[in-house]
Amino acid sequence: MSKILVIAEHLDGKLNSSTARAVSAASAVKGEAIDVLVLSDAPEAVAAEAAKIEGVSRVLTVARPENAHPLAAVLAPQIAKAATGYSHVFAPSTTFGKDVAPRVAALLGVAQVSDVMSVEAAHTFTRPIYAGNAIITVEADAAHTVVATIRTASWPAAPSGANNAPVEALTVDAALPTHTRFVELKQGSSDRPDLQSASKVVSGGRGVGSKENFDIIYKFADRIGAAVGASRAAVDAGYCPNEMQVGQTGKIIAPELYMAIGISGAIQHLTGIKDAGTIVAINKDGEAPIFEIADFGLMGDLFKIIPELEAALGA
Amino acid sequence: MKILVGYKRVVDYNVRIQVKPDGSGVVTDGVKLSANPFDDIALEEALRLREKGIAEEVIVVGIGPADLTAHLRNGLAMGANRAIHVVTADAVQPLTAARVFLKLIEKEQPGLVILGKQAIDDDANQTGQMLAALWDRPQATFAGKVEVADGKAKVTREVDAGLEAIEVDLPAVITTDLRLNEPRFIKLPDIMKAKSKPIDSIEFGSLGVEAHDHLKTTQYAAPAKRSKGVMVKDAAELVAALKQKGLL
């Protein structure tokens, strides 16, 4: 029977919702146990959150001062040790999981399945290649541990609240390297919803024209309670910071409502949004590819349309 | 110091990928092939480190069939000093690629290995991290800025939360993100010069690397298509439609 170890992603003492999505994927394996591993200098609060996620059997914590920051070179040897006895090791396919999981896989001497979209059987998965232009079915060797990253946009977050899984402290005997040191994390300070988990996202593209003009996007997003995203073109042009990029090499998201404003819709961008519930496109170019996949398209000047939308929303 | 750069050839990013009707693969016959864009960024970064006097030699590495030499010549034309061609007709998975690089590292003793964060064909995003693990050295993935001095590299990484800076001791593996740099264009005289630069060919079988493919791809499918929706005439109609769906 399968036993799955899910690596928790967390920051500033809070569990990232990507973890609950990875738990959903773990549930789809239909194994006998799903344990969540929390590596931190102070894992208590994160572990308590993880224990509430439905489907979680146990939460295992490794408390070490070296785990204060998520350095793959430091975490991977501990995860590889903790993985003993598990058939699967899952991590969310976020920059955290993408960084650490392959290092774990290599330490275990196994391949990794990246960006799992569906679990067809305990060792059979689907995943996207070529920016999602093809979906492959891959079979992992059942004789080895499967290391996989979970494409968060393909999985709902497992519900939280009803469960009360036991939390157990784990001691792992792993020598940790000192060759990699955390310096700093510069986070975009924002009171807006988190882009990766928001139910509504408003994104701006090259058509917005400048960093100053992007204010109209922020303002509209705030009006409807949405997170703000951007196309690669907008990030490259310096209109907004890198963490806002949506697409093949940025964030892959699946909000209920996605509004693409001034975004032409390069295939690499569409990859990041195709699991959205409803896609709205606003663009002055009626031939823009974004209209090919939008549920609702509105052709015209965004600087005229956004105030009209705000007016139509009423007081 | 030497810098090894992974230089993979992939289907050009502008090509619209088609899945073969029988689900056995994607159509690659006759399609344009190019350097993986992240690898061009990796090579550019290595060249800049050489131009700053931090590195002496930049070596591009490719793993692939006999005709890969033409692709490696592009890397040489861009400015690499020499190329290593690991010859194999088979596609290699990331773990195998990492093992190949480890063999080359043992021979070349580079101070840095710079790879693209992912190849835009398999989108795996694994090889750099796996190599760093096998080599037991630091990894600095998704690099948006690299500063090398005193046997260390300070790397600013593009992460979901923002920008994370880490410091790593060399030797180390760096994987590149999009905004690290803008790769230079190849000039005609450089193409001529590249013709005389050396390409070492090494048979994959001679490296003693076991191609251990734990993953088997059993089917290729086209993604589910989103159907084209409707065009609305104005903002009021759009807001009404979204309100009706309970989205606003």
Residues 190-209 of A with CB under 8 A from B: 196, 200
Give percent above pLDDT 70 in chain A.
Answer: 100
Q: Which of B129, B134, B216 to mutate to test the interface with A (most CBs of A within 10 A)?
A: B129
Nearest Cα neighbor of A184 from A97, A69, A28 is: A69
pLDDT value of position B165:
98
Residue B32 contacts A where some CB pair is shorter than 8 Å: no
Cβ–Cβ gap B95/A144 under 8 Å: no
- Residue A1 — very low, low, confident or very high, per pLDDT cuts 50/70/90? confident
In chain A, which residues have their Cβ closer than 8 Å to the Cβ of B139?
A: 72-73, 99, 103, 180
pLDDT value of position B114:
98
- Residue A260 — very low, low, confident or very high, per pLDDT cuts 50/70/90? very high
Cβ–Cβ gap A309/B238 under 8 Å: yes
Can you tell me the mean pLDDT for A265-278? 94
Distance of CA A237 to the CA centre of its chain: 24
Residue A107 contacts B where some CB pair is shorter than 8 Å: yes
Per the prediction, chain B carries an average pLDDT of: 96
- pLDDT tens, residue by residue, A53-81: 999 999 999 999 999 999 999 999 999 99
Beta bridge partners of B6: B61
ipTM attached to this prediction? 0.96
- pLDDT tens, residue by residue, A101-116: 999 999 999 999 999 9
* Alpha carbon distance A97, A114 (integer Å): 10
Residue A247 contacts B where some CB pair is shorter than 8 Å: no
The chain B residue lying nearest A295, using CA atoms, is B229
Taking the CB of residue A87, how many other CB atoms lie within 10 A of it?
A: 21
Q: Which residues are within 8 A (CB) of A312 and not within 5 positions of it... i.e. 6 or more apart?
A: B235, B236, B238, B239, B240
Cβ A47 vs Cβ A170: under 8 Å: no
Can you tell me the mean pLDDT for A128-148? 96
Alpha helices in chain B (DSSP H): 37-51, 68-78, 94-108, 127-135, 188-194, 235-244
SS3 A67: helix
* Alpha carbon distance B57, B37 (integer Å): 21
Can you tell me the mean pLDDT for A244-273? 95
pTM across the whole model: 0.94
- Residue A315 — very low, low, confident or very high, per pLDDT cuts 50/70/90? low
- Residue A291 — very low, low, confident or very high, per pLDDT cuts 50/70/90? very high
pLDDT over 90 (residue B227): no
- Residue A278 — very low, low, confident or very high, per pLDDT cuts 50/70/90? very high
The chain B residue lying nearest A180, using CA atoms, is B168
pLDDT over 80 (residue B230): yes
SS3 B222: coil
How far does the CA of residue B197 sit from the closest CA of chain A (Å)? 32
pLDDT value of position B240:
96
pLDDT over 80 (residue A254): yes
| Cβ-based burial of A8 (10 A; exposed 0-12, middle 13-18, buried ≥19) | buried
Q: Which of B147, B160, B230, B242 to mutate to test the interface with A (most CBs of A within 10 A)?
A: B160
pLDDT value of position B210:
85
Cβ–Cβ gap A129/B142 under 8 Å: no
pLDDT value of position A48:
98
How far does the CA of residue B57 sit from the closest CA of chain A (Å)? 24
DSSP string, B34-82: EE-HHHHHHHHHHHHHHHTTS-SEEEEEEEE-TTHHHHHHHHHHHT-SE
How far does the CA of residue B167 sit from the closest CA of chain A (Å)? 5
- pLDDT tens, residue by residue, A121-131: 999 999 999 99
* Alpha carbon distance B179, B41 (integer Å): 9
- pLDDT tens, residue by residue, A171-201: 999 999 999 999 999 987 778 999 988 999 9
- Residue B166 — very low, low, confident or very high, per pLDDT cuts 50/70/90? very high
